[in-house]
């Protein structure tokens, strides 16, 4: 597999894989699945805050505690049963008692009172204040005879008390409704209010006001996009001192559109503007306007601008504006769908009949070609700022910004890493430093060295090494010859980029790879460079066929990318003398992105045949060039393949030495460091006796050695 910088290999099958073609980022299937293994949020899941659960647990706990302690908190006294109570009544030992009829239970009567203490002979025990008494309470069923005697006055020490049951009945009648109302309030209305999803707030804006004291990002934290920083810093200066510009008739720009590839720092630049500007800063995503109900997005746009008018001058940052600003009347959907209504409201608020100055829109997108032309005109977005991939100086500055929190070894030279990472975005460079720090920490190093940075660079761009992949010796042999063919032709051709590394260690989706890095940033492609690159891409299949006498599906990626390069040369870049400088088709346009529903063919069948014939001619000539070079240097090809089988990876300088001299100098072996020896002890320690070897069990041989793939 031959890998060019700034490109990502496509998914393929087989032993080896192919060269890269166009300078576009292609996401493989594994990246799609691995990317979103972070903590996924279940949409629509109902969650109750922990505080609510604590309140309900406390309420139920208090009720249970009251029920348990009720009997203990009732009138003090000894609890007696009905038999004991009748004995006290018949022996005339009741000093005083009160009868409380229970309205909930007509058979039981609660009696609270006092009885006289008696000794063993039955005589009352006297004290200083007269006869001693003991409080008691009882819940008994009065017999009809005893109840008649009490009510007729034969026992004057008893009195009847009429209970007040109105309050208790009121509580019992209201309590169920109160409990249901409390349940609904806690679990529904309160949650809806806390989540901001009430019926009255459905059309409210989701824009968040960013507090300046919480945002610590400034222009010092942004690097590699100096021209973009200069343009937006002028905006910040206008907000701080508007009279400086208004003296000459200048007015504040109404909108700024930041355009660039993913990971170049558009959102970071917006945060820096918020940190530098002395104005209110609202942030929202384009997807926050999109709802399934027509009119909700437009209502949110109007509410957002209503909030902004109360805080003028202010900034509104809309991230991924292409989610709501796509061209109207194209693609799927009619003119009355939710997205177009939202876009109409946005257009009117930005520059309509009743527009007020002082609200500046800052938007970011990586798809400006699908935006509506009415949104891009001056008066709405006065400026379009290109945030491109950083050059070598920008990459070094970005690495220095992100390296502030990484402990680097003194030998680390970030300029070397910057020169070796052409086509990397700011996000990839930040990820590179993070991966290097993780690699150093996993090996218990005290600082990050160049070794970890080099490995992290390869890991970020080409994937992690898969040393655990089980490969047969035959697969390794074919992979070594395949990659040796790429490496040999890469060094022999004049217009290819310098070879960086060739390896047969599986990495990412590839079973082997040949990596080349340009000396400078690649700003354009030349014809001779493309022809040599196609020839180098074909070399893997040729070398594999020479050694095996057969061909495999391992070169599927090589064939695919060589075809893409040749077709781009013919149909887009005008590099074919036969076809001429005419662009045939618009292959970069994607379907269903706000344009045509289907892709139209803009050339005839005869022209298509000529294009196919020219593409085949370019590939056949490149194939012949690569085959001639390999045939004339079979000894060097064999030496590169055998070295790969022995050492698994070769640097570009080692391959160049083989091609130039026909000899290979093995890399120096890793020095074996002996264990440190201390000074001889003053008192020699006694020798530890050697343990006898365990007896060999019958029927069991020596243990198998721990082996791995060669």
- Bridge-based pairing of strands 133-140 and 109-116 is antiparallel
Measured in whole angstroms, the distance separating CA 635 from the mean position of its chain's CA atoms is 50
**What is the rounded distance in angstroms from the CA atom of residue 239 to the CA atom of residue 385?**
19
Angle, alpha carbons 573-28-575 (nearest 5°) = 10
Higher local confidence (pLDDT), 274 or 38: 274
Among candidate residues 589, 609, 610, 608, the one with its CA nearest the CA of residue 598: 589
Residues in the chain: 710
Rounded Cα distance between 5 and 14, Å, is 23
pLDDT at residue 337 greater than cutoff 60: yes
Q: Is residue 495 scored above 80 in pLDDT?
A: yes
Instruction: Compute the average pLDDT of residues 575-603.
Output: 67
- When the pLDDT of each residue in the chain is averaged and rounded to a whole number, the result is 75
pLDDT in tens, 137-175: 888 888 777 777 777 777 777 877 766 666 666 766 777
Nearest CA-CA partner of 352 in 325, 322, 374: 374
Q: How far is residue 668's CA from residue 673's CA, in Å, rounded to a whole number?
A: 14
Range list of H helices, 74-199: 82-90, 144-152, 166-184, 190-195
Q: Which of 4-18, 166-180, 534-548 has the lowest mean pLDDT?
A: 4-18
Classified as helix, coil or strand, 214 is: coil
* pLDDT tens column, 28-63: 333 333 434 444 444 344 455 677 677 777 777 776
Cβ distance 256 to 232 under 8 Å? Answer: yes
**Lowest-confidence region among 222-236, 461-475, 683-697:** 683-697
User: In the chain, pLDDT over 70 holds for what percent of residues?
Assistant: 73
DSSP helix/strand/coil, 221:
helix
Tokens read off for 502: 């060739």
Please report, to the nearest 10 degrees, the dihedral formed by the alpha carbons of residues 361, 363, 368, 373 taken in order.
-20
**CA 150 to each of CA 83, 94, 122: distance values in angstroms, whole numbers, following the listed order:** 17, 12, 24
Q: Please tell me the distance from the alpha carbon of residue 395 to that of residue 471, in angstroms, as a whole number.
A: 38
Among 193-207, 315-329, 566-580, 680-694, top mean pLDDT goes to 566-580
The residues assigned a catalytic role are 483
- Inform me whether the pLDDT recorded for 325 exceeds 60: yes
Phi, psi at 16, each rounded to 5° = -115, 175
Q: Is the pTM of this model over 0.85?
A: no
Cα torsion angle, 309, 311, 312, 318, sign: negative
Q: Which residues contact 21 (CB under 8 A, 6 or more apart)?
A: 7, 561, 562, 564, 565, 568
Is residue 302 over pLDDT 90?
Answer: no
- Please state the φ and ψ torsions of residue 121, each to the nearest 5 degrees: -85, -5
Geometric angle at alpha carbon 52, from 51 and 54, rounded to 5°: 65
Q: Is 161 helix (H, G, I), strand (E, B) or coil?
A: strand
Residue 515: pLDDT over 90: no
- What mean pLDDT comes out for the span 247-266? 85
> What is the C-alpha end-to-end distance of the chain, expressed in Å?
20
């Amino acid at each position: 597999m031959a890998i060019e910088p700034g490109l990502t290999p496509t998914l393929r099958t087989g032993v080896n894989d192919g060269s890269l073609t166009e300078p576009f980022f292609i996401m493989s299937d594994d990246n799609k699945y691995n990317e979103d293994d972070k903590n996924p949020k279940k949409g629509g899941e109902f969650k109750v805050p922990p505080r609510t659960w604590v309140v309900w647990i406390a309420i139920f706990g208090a009720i249970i505690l009251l029920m348990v302690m009720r009997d203990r908190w009732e009138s003090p006294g000894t609890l007696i049963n009905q038999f004991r109570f009748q004995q006290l009544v018949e022996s005339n030992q009741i000093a005083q008692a009160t009868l409380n009829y229970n309205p909930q239970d007509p058979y039981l009567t609660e009696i609270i009172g006092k009885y006289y203490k008696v000794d063993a002979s039955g005589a009352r025990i006297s004290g200083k204040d007269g006869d001693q008494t003991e409080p008691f309470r009882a819940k008994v069923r009065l017999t009809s005879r005893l109840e008649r005697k009490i009510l007729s006055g034969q026992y004057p020490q008893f009195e009847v008390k009429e209970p007040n049951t109105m309050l208790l009945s009121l509580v019992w009648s209201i309590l169920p409704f109160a409990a249901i109302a409390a349940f609904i309030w806690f679990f529904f209305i309160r949650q809806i209010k806390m989540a901001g999803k009430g019926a009255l707030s459905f059309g409210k804006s989701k824009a968040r006001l960013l507090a300046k004291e919480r945002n610590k990002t400034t222009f010092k934290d942004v690097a590699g996009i100096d021209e973009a920083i200069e343009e937006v810093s002028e905006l910040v200066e206008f907000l701080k001192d508007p009279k400086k510009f208004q003296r000459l008739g200048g007015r504040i720009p109404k909108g700024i559109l930041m355009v660039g590839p993913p990971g170049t720092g558009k959102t970071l630049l917006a945060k820096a503007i918020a940190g530098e500007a002395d104005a209110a800063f609202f942030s929202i995503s384009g997807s926050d306007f999109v709802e399934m109900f027509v009119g909700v997005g437009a209502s949110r746009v109007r509410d957002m601008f209503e909030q902004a008018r109360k805080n003028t001058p202010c900034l509104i940052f809309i991230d991924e504006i292409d989610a709501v600003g796509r061209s109207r009347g194209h693609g799927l959907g009619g003119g009355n769908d939710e997205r177009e209504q939202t876009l109409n409201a946005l257009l009117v608020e930005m520059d309509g009949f009743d527009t007020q100055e002082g609200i500046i829109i800052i938007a970011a997108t990586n798809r400006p070609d699908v935006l509506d032309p009415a949104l891009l005109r001056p008066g709405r977005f006065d400026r379009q700022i290109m945030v491109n991939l950083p050059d070598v100086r920008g990459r070094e500055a970005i690495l220095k910004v992100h390296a502030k929190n990484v402990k680097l070894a003194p030998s680390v030279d970030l300029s070397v890493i910057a020169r070796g990472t052409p086509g990397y975005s700011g996000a990839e460079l930040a990820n590179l430093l993070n991966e290097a720090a993780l690699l150093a920490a996993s090996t218990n190093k005290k600082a990050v060295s160049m070794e970890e940075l080099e490995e992290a660079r390869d890991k970020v761009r080409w994937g992690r090494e898969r040393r655990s992949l089980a490969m047969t010796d035959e697969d390794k042999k074919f992979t070594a010859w395949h990659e040796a063919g790429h490496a040999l032709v890469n060094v022999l051709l004049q217009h290819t980029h310098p070879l960086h590394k060739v390896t047969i260690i599986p990495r990412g989706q590839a079973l082997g790879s040949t990596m080349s890095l340009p000396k400078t940033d690649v700003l354009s492609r030349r014809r001779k460079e493309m022809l040599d690159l196609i020839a180098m891409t074909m070399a893997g299949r040729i070398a594999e066929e020479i050694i095996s006498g057969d061909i495999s599906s391992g070169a599927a990626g090589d064939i695919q990318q060589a075809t893409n390069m040749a077709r781009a040369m013919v149909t887009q870049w005008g590099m074919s003398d036969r076809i001429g400088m005419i662009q045939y088709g618009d292959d970069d346009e994607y379907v269903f992105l706000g344009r045509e529903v289907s892709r139209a063919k803009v050339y005839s069948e005869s022209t298509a045949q000529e294009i196919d014939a020219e593409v085949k001619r370019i590939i056949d000539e490149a194939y012949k060039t690569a085959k001639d070079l390999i045939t004339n240097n079979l000894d060097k090809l064999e030496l590169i393949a055998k070295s790969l089988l022995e050492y698994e990876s070769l640097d570009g300088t080692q391959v160049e030495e083989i091609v130039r001299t026909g000899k290979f100098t093995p890399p120096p072996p890793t020095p074996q460091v002996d264990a440190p020896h201390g000074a001889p002890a003053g008192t020699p320690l006694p020798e530890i006796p050697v343990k006898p070897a365990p007896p060999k069990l019958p029927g069991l041989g020596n243990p198998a050695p721990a082996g791995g793939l060669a």
